[in-house]
Every structure is written in C-alpha cells, then in structure tokens.
Amino acid sequence: MTISADIQVASSSTDIPSESDIEEWIRETLSESGRDRAELTIRIVDETEIADLNSRYRRRNSTTDVLAFPHNLPPELETDLIGDVVVCASIINQQAAHYRADPRAHWARIIAHGILHLLGYDHAQPETALEMEAVEGAILNRLGLYHPDLHERAS
C-alpha cells in the first residue's frame, strides 16, 4: 500500500489524535475501500476556519465537523491524488461527548467519513447513508473501535 498523507494541524485544541493514529485510520479506510494507492491531506482546524470554508464552498453559514474536497482533475491525468479532508477538532470532541463515544473512535469515524466522501460515497439519500455507515462500521470494527451511534443504527 502506497499512501502519501499530509497531516496538517492548524488548531489550538490539545485533544487531537496522534499522527500515527490518523495514518492508521487512513490506511484502514483505503484498504476497506479497495484502494492501495492514494495521496491526500488531512487538515485539523478550529471553528473559525471550518465555518469560513463551509460558507465559501457550501454556502452554509455555520460550523461543521468535516468537509471533503475531492480532486477535480481530468481523468486522463494519472494521479493518486484523491483530495483534502478538513476536520474541526472542537466539534469532533463535542460530538464524541454527545454520542458518549470514545473520542478516539469518534475521530476515527470522522476521518474515515471524510475519506469516504473523497472516494465518492455520500449520505444524501437514506440508502446511500446506510451504505456509508456500514463501511464506517466495518472500518471501526477492523480497528477494534466501538462507536455507539453506529452500533445503535446497525441493531
């Protein structure tokens, strides 16, 4: 497996997973999706930056947990580049508390969620949302992590 991941931390939060954890989550997500080569960026930001990006690119004047920016290069260009994932540290940590999830499990889920968006998954329709959640659950299971939200929906 050949993965090039640029992990950028532009957040003042101290509750951020280690780079090695993030790299493991990237590998498992790509492996679960049948991808053995990829180049991507994971950028961890504060609420100001995520709100600005959400407003600029999605026309939504609010914060969010994760944004995915798939590459839009012409198909004839052969590249491993799949895109960029931007996550908001404080929102992810707040959500983990809300779901009563282990913060590490919730971070892994959100990182996987963003990467799955880069790979073409979406949750716009109920059936595609269920498919995406099933893949997220499989990734967390392979990592030995438990997320109560995914467990409750699968039951």
- The CATH number linked to 71 is 3.40.390.30
User: Residue 58 and residue 37: Cα distance in Å, rounded?
Assistant: 28
Higher pLDDT, 155 or 109: 109
Is residue 18's pLDDT more than 60? yes
User: Residue 133 and residue 138: Cα distance in Å, rounded?
Assistant: 9
Is residue 53's pLDDT more than 60? yes
Tally of CB atoms within 10 A around 65: 20
pLDDT of residue 72: 85
What mean pLDDT comes out for the span 44-67? 97
Tell me the per-residue pLDDT of 141-154, one tens digit each, with 9 for 90 and over: 999 999 887 755 54
User: Residue 98 and residue 39: Cα distance in Å, rounded?
Assistant: 32
pLDDT of residue 152: 54
Is residue 66's pLDDT more than 90? yes
pTM of this prediction? 0.93
- The sheet with strand 66-70 has its strands ordered as 2-10, 37-45, 81-88, 66-70
Distance of CA 46 to the CA centre of its chain: 15
Domain count, the chain: 1
DSSP 17: -
Tell me the per-residue pLDDT of 89-99, one tens digit each, with 9 for 90 and over: 999 999 999 99
Please give the residue range of the domain that contains residue 46: 2-154
pLDDT band at 155 (very low <50, low <70, confident <90, very high): very low
